[in-house]
């Protein structure tokens, strides 16, 4: 039985002999990552994400719901207005979703008009503002939510 396992192992090792140029020690180079199938697999597993930190004003009352799997979700809008010298202010609207245990805390503490800082993953979309003009909207899936001092002292 042991011999069979050993021969199977050595057969696997012999099944994929190194190809020319695959040896990282050629030309005196130190081994880093082995090229070939393993390196391709590592490339596929890399994940890219966009994170954003926003500080703004809660512009809608937070809503608290449960998704179909029973996970709590708190949704609210954050408006970020950047004042620009001698120009009209630049306003961006962010739809924020908070999942899990933080959702209940956000729903209890946050009110319309509160200042909040949110860090999360972002996705962009276009929406119509009240005047009917298209504006950028960012959907933020919150990782952290920081409340202002006024919000903390109120709760």
Report the pLDDT value the prediction gives residue 28, as an integer from 0 to 100. Answer: 52
One domain for residues 117 and 59: yes
Q: What is the mean pLDDT of the chain?
A: 76
DSSP 87: S
Q: Are 76 and 24 in contact (CB under 8 A)?
A: no
148 and 93 in one domain?
yes
Residue closest to 24 by CA, chosen among 16, 33, 15: 33
8 and 77: one domain? no
CATH number at residue 98: 2.40.50.140
What percent of the chain stands above pLDDT 70? Answer: 68
Q: Residue 15's pLDDT is what? A: 44
Query: 24 with 84, same domain?
Result: no
Specify whether the CB–CB gap between 94 and 78 falls below 8 A.
yes
89 contacts 70 by C-beta, under 8 angstroms: no
How many structural domains does the chain have? 2
Which pLDDT value is given to residue 13?
41
pTM beyond 0.75? no
69 and 133 fall within a common domain:
yes
* Full residue range of the structural domain in which residue 9 is found: 2-45
* β-pairing verdict for 90-99 and 134-147: parallel
Q: Same domain for 115 and 93?
A: yes
pLDDT of residue 83: 81
Between 65 and 47, the more confident residue is: 65
If you average pLDDT over residues 43-53, what whole number do you get?
A: 73
Residues 41 and 107 in one domain: no
Q: What value does the mean pLDDT take over residues 24-44?
A: 53
| Alpha carbons 110 and 61: distance in angstroms, whole number | 8
Task: Give the span between the Cα atoms of 75 and 96, in whole angstroms.
Answer: 6
The pair of structure tokens assigned to 42 is 């590592």
Which residues, other chains included, contact 101 with Cβ-Cβ below 8 Å and sequence gap of 6+? 72
What band does 38 get if pLDDT is binned at 50, 70 and 90? low
Longest dimension (CA), the chain: 83
25 has a pLDDT exceeding 70: no
SS3 readout for 129-140:
CCCCCEEEEEEE
Cβ 99 vs Cβ 72: under 8 Å? yes
Question: Looking at residue 14, what is its pLDDT?
Answer: 42
């Amino acid at each position: 039985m042991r011999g069979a396992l050993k021969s199977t192992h050595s057969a696997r090792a012999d099944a994929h002999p190194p190809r020319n140029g695959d040896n990282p020690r050629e030309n005196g180079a130190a081994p880093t990552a082995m090229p070939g199938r393993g390196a391709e697999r590592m490339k596929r597993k890399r994940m890219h994400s966009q994170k954003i930190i926003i500080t703004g004003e809660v512009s809608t009352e937070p809503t608290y719901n449960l998704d179909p799997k029973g996970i709590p979700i708190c949704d609210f809008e954050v408006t970020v207005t950047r004042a620009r010298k001698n120009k009209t202010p630049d306003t961006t609207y962010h739809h924020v979703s908070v999942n899990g245990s933080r959702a209940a805390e956000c729903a209890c503490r946050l009110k319309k008009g509160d200042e909040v800082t949110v860090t999360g993953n972002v996705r962009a979309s276009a929406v119509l503002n009240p005047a009917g003009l298209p504006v950028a909207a960012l959907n933020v899936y919150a990782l952290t939510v920081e409340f202002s001092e006024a919000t903390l002292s109120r709760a």
